[in-house]
Structure 1
Amino acid sequence: MKIEFVPEINYPGIYFRQLEKEDLQSWYSYLSIKEVYQDTSWDLSSVKDLDVLYQEYISADKDSAVRLAVIDKAANKLIGTIGFHTISTLNKSAEIAYDLSPDYWGKGIAPAICKAITSWGFSRLGLVRIQATVLETNSRSEKVLVKCGYTYEGLLKSYRTVRGTPGNFKMYAKLVETSVKLMD
C-alpha cells in the first residue's frame, strides 16, 4: 500500500520513511543474524527473498501489506522496519510486525516505533483492532507489545511453520480507544 502520510516517532534522531528497494541489502544484513531471526518466523536465504515482500509493500491494493523503514538520522541508515500485514479493510484489522538491528536493542526504540505505528494505524488507516503474533520464545517482542498497551489473548498452537517446524505463537492485540455513548 502506498503511504501518503508517514507518522512521526517520539524518539530523538529516529524517523520513518517509505521503505526503498535500496534498503533491502541493509535489512537482510541484520535479519540474517542468528540472535535476530532465532525467535521469529523469518526464513531468508538471500536478499531476493525480501524483494518478493517489497513488491507487496509498494502495491496499490488497499489491503496489501505496509512496511516503513526506521532510520537513524545521524548515521543515515536503516536500523529497522515496521508495518502491518494481513490487513482487512472490511474488518478494520491488521497484524503489526517489526524488527530492529541488534545494535539498537535495549534503547527504547522498539516501543517508540510500535506506539507510533499503532497510533497511526488507528488514526490514519481507520483500524479498530491491531494484533501481533509472537513466537512463544520471543520474550523481547512480548515486552515491547506490553509497553505499547497490547493485551495477551492466548496461545496459538502450531500456528505457523518456523523454518520447517510448527511453532506456537502468543496472540496479543490492541483495540482502538473509543468512547461509546450507550443509549438509555
Structure 2
Amino acid sequence: MKDNFPTLESERTILRQFVDSDLEDVFKGLSHPDIIKYYGISFDSLEATKEQMQWFSNLEKNQNGIWWAICSKVDGKFLGAGGLNDLNKENKKAEIGFWLLPENWGKGFMTETMPLIFTYAFDKIGLHRIEGFVETENMNCKKALAKLKFSFEGTMKDCEIKNGEFISLDIYSKLDHKELPITKN
C-alpha cells in the first residue's frame, strides 16, 4: 500500500486504497447481475477480476484517475467502490464512477461518500468539472446523481453499442464554482 494514498472519511465510512484482500468483494460486485447491468465491465472469475484490481492501482500510478474502496467505519466491511477516471488535468475534468454491493443500496452511502471524492477532486487535484455518463435506462444512477446535485446536460442518442444494441447515454456534470484562474498566452 502506498503511504501517500489519500484516505477519506465520513461519519460511517472510510475510503481507502484497494488491497489484495478486496479481490473477492470486487469480484462479488463486478459479477453481480444487478450491478453489471449498467456498468461497463464485468468478470466471470476471480482470476479475471485481478485485471480490475490492477487497473485500480495503475490509475493512480499513471495519473489517469483514482479509485477508493468504500468500507464501513464500524467493522471495515467492504461496501463498494468509487472514484474518478479519464482524468484530464489540462481541461480540469474527470469522469465519476461508483458502485455498491446490493445489500448496501438505499442506505445513503453514496450520498455520504461521493462528496468526499468531489472535495478531493476540486481541492486537491484542482478539477473544475466532474462528469457522469449514464445509460438512459439506469434510473437508480440518475436518481443518485440528482441527489448529489449533478446537472443534466443532455442525451447522446445511440452513441454506443452494448450487447449488439445501440444505447444512449445521459450526460451529467458537477462544477466547482470557485473562480478558475485563466491565463492568456
TM-score bin, normalised by smaller chain? 0.7 to 0.9
Change (3 A) 1:123 1:18: same
1:131 match: 131
Change (3 A) 1:79 1:163: farther
Compute the RMSD of aligned alpha carbons: 2.1
Whether 1:48 and 2:47 are equivalent positions in the alignment is: yes
Deviations 1:130-173 (A, max 9, x none): 00111111111111111111100111123333344332111100
Gaps of 5+ in 1: none
Partner Cα distance (2:45, 2:167) in 1: 22
2:79 match: 79
Change (3 A) 1:106 1:51: same
One-letter code of the match for 1:111?
T
Partner Cα distance (2:149, 2:161) in 1: 27
Aligned residues of 2:29 and 2:101 also touching (Cα < 8 A): yes
2:33 match: 34
Secondary structure at the residue paired with 1:110? Answer: helix
Change (3 A) 1:116 1:160: farther
One-letter code of the match for 1:171?
I
Aligned residues of 1:30 and 1:101 also touching (Cα < 8 A): yes
Q: How many residues align?
A: 177
Deviations 1:50-72 (A, max 9, x none): 3223323323222x231100012
Partner Cα distance (2:164, 2:42) in 1: 9
1:171 match: 171
Secondary structure at the residue paired with 1:107? Answer: coil
Aligned residues of 1:40 and 1:162 also touching (Cα < 8 A): no
TM-score in terms of structure 2 length:
0.85
Q: CA deviation at 1:179?
A: 4.3
2:151 match: 151
1:23 match: 22
Identity %: 25
TM-score in terms of structure 1 length:
0.85
Q: Which has the higher contact order (CA 8 A, sep 6+)?
A: 1
Gaps of 5+ in 2: none
